Amino acid sequence: GENVEQHPSTLSVQEGDSAVIKCTYSDSASNYFPWYKQELGKRPQLIIDIRSNVGEKKDQRIAVTLNKTAKHFSLHITETQPEDSAVYFCAGGAQKLVFGQGTRLTINP
């Protein structure tokens, strides 16, 4: 079955700097890769996703890239703000999703 690994587990950046979170997956049949943001005590919220027929997708300060050959995908957040502090999860799969272990992102003012 699918296995998704996420790194780093914690990330601390200065406000205004960029943050990058990386994930790898194992199943070449996976065709959908979402990213979720979860604030403390809240449900995970979908922030961006990418399908296997696309290499990059951007939505304002957030972008995701996918390298199918290497089986890895990354989340890029530019011009980070304090409200970006949260736990971020990647996932991969198709009908079913397998989630990474999460990255706790802290934005320092």
Partner 1 sequence: DAGITQSPRHKVTETGTPVTLRCHQTENHRYMYWYRQDPGHGLRLIHYSYGVKDTDKGEVSDGYSVSRSKTEDFLLTLESATSSQTSVYFCAIRPGGRVAGGGEQYFGPGTRLTVT
**Spatial CB neighbours of 14, under 8 Å, sequence gap ≥ 6:** 80, 107, 108
Q: Rounded CA gap, 14 and 106, in Å?
A: 8
DSSP-derived secondary structure letter, 108: E
Please pick, from the candidates 21, 24, 25, 34, the single residue that binds partner 1 as defined by CB under 8 A: 34
Site residues for partner 1, 50-79, by CB under 8 A, read 51
The window from 14-22, 54-62, 64-72, 90-98 that contacts partner 1 (CB under 8 A) reads 90-98
Interface residues with partner 1 (CB under 8 A)? Answer: 1, 6, 30-32, 34, 43-46, 49, 51, 89, 91, 93-102
